[in-house]
A = this chain, B = another copy of it.
Amino acid sequence: IDTEDWNALKDVIGKLPTIEIVEILEKLEEQDLLLVFELFSKKEKAQIFGEFSRDLQYQIFNKLDKRAFSKIFEDMRSDERADFYQELTLEEQTSLLPYLNKQVRSNVVELSAYDSDSAGGIMTTDFATVRVWMTVREAVDKIKIDSPGKKMIYYVYVVDDEKVLLGFITLKDLILADLSDKIADLLHVDYVAAKVNDDRERAARMIEKYDLVALPILNDDHKLVGIVRHDDAIEVIVAEQTEDMEKMMGITSSNDEGDDEGYMDISVFRHFKKRVVWLVSLAIVGMISGLILHHFEAALDQMVILALYMPMLADTGGNAGSQASTVIIRALSLGEVTVKDWWTITFKEMRISILLAVCLSSIAFIKVSLLSFDTLLPGTLTLSYVAFIISLALALQVVSSTIIGAGLPIIVRKFNGDPAVVASPAITTIVDITGLLIYFSLATAFLLQV
């Protein structure tokens, strides 16, 4: 590679899939990268550039002169083009626009106006349309004229004079048909479509549900304005899953961040910001458990053995509650259950938790008996009685934590919130409080009054 035999190099890597070329290029020094990048054709450059990370795209944008860059830019996929354009400063945007041809210019401005969380924000305008009165031969001719420069097409959309969507035909239909067949006879009218302002996750889920390769996107007048591709849908689904998981651990995501930013791209301070909000909120809520403990300080003073098993109670409750909330959050987000099922869910979780409580409190009983055999107990208390009360507290804690863990996501969804926010850290903190209340209520009632 360092022998500067560029042509040989081009021959070798030019045959690889685009994404692998990108992976190789991203490892090069900037100088080499630009040299190798120049070896590719305009069309290849556009494809490669589209797959680069945001930072690298910006770097190359600054190195190339605007006229050369505009040629690459014009050949990019319309959605990737708009995404990149959105990241530029106003000044940079206006420095680029004059070099673009009129069609690309208006397309970029139009696409980048959509909110990146909407279907419009992830759609591309690279699709082919034909008219319902055409024959297959005329349709094929129109596609040949319209789309050789565009990336892969799968469906051909059939629109009327006003660009209102009538239906679609697949490329397979076109190939299997005779050239003299009418488009009208091939037309599928059972299409599904999303609106530009729909949430991008909704659009992605439709692609998943209906097993589509692309989903047509309509404006409010039912006119076809773009399509969302299956690969962009996968990206959205993966990104939303990451967001869900992070939310479940109390990690906030800032709105201004790109979906393709990985762990390494995010600075220490931004990682800190993402995590600190929830940790601090929970620490403040945690004051409540501090207050409760403070209230029972005398009880603790009298029976230090109670302090020894506090962590066990808190951990087990936290774990059981987190499990329940994870299962329910996932089931809600996959649509397996809805808010209306609340009673079925609560009843089911109650039965599950009773089984869990029996197991775990037996273990707790054995644990207390083994670990505290030499503890001095006040008054006439026996160790097995104390162990029994502690196990009972644990059993109640498991049941209540499981029901709280399952119930909170449903309540949050009921009020149109995102259930993922009440996952692990929140549940842990909440069941800590209920756990302490259960524990000390039982202890003061049955142990201290003796």
Contact = CB atoms under 8 A, between A and B. Distances in A.
Nearest to A301: B304
Interface stretch (A3-11, A87-95, A314-322, A379-387): A314-322
Interface of A: 15-17, 19, 140, 143-144, 147-148, 152-154, 170-172, 174-176, 189-190, 192, 207-213, 229-231, 233-235, 237-238, 241-242, 245-246, 248-251, 262-264, 268-269, 271-272, 275-276, 278-280, 282-284, 286-287, 289-291, 293-294, 297, 300-301, 304, 307-312, 314-316, 318-320, 322-323, 326-328, 330-331, 334, 336-337, 341, 344-345, 348, 351-352, 355-356, 359-360, 363-364, 367, 371-372, 375, 424-425, 428-429, 432, 436
Nearest to A424: B424
A16 B432 contact: no
B262 A315 contact: no
Given A249-B323, A276-B359, 19 more contacts: A143-B175, A147-B172, A171-B172, A175-B175, A208-B231, A208-B235, A212-B231, A213-B213, A245-B245, A268-B348, A275-B320, A291-B371, A293-B307, A293-B308, A297-B304, A300-B304, A315-B318, A315-B428, A424-B424
A369 to B, nearest CB: 12
Given A246-B326, A251-B327, A294-B371, A336 B262 contact: yes
A425 to B, nearest CB: 5
Name the prevailing secondary structure of the A interface residues.
helix
Nearest to A154: B154
B250 A331 contact: no
Top 10 A-B residue pairs of the complex, sorted by shortest distance between their CB atoms: A262-B336, A263-B331, A211-B231, A171-B171, A307-B307, A249-B326, A272-B355, A319-B425, A268-B351, A293-B308
17 contacts: A17-B192, A19-B210, A19-B211, A207-B234, A211-B231, A250-B323, A263-B327, A264-B341, A271-B348, A279-B359, A289-B315, A290-B371, A297-B375, A300-B308, A311-B314, A318-B318, A323-B425
Contact of A323 (B19, B279, B314, B355): B279
A290 B279 CA distance: 26
Contacts of A424: 249, 319, 322, 424
Contacts of A351: 268
Contacts of A297: 304, 308, 375
Contact of A263 (B276, B282, B337, B367): B337
Given A279-B360, A337-B263, A154 B17 contact: no
A11 B340 CA distance: 31
Contacts of A249: 322-323, 326-327, 424
A175 B172 contact: no
Most buried by B among A283, A287, A428: A283
Nearest to A178: B144
A26 to B, nearest CB: 13
Contact of A337 (B190, B230, B262, B375): B262
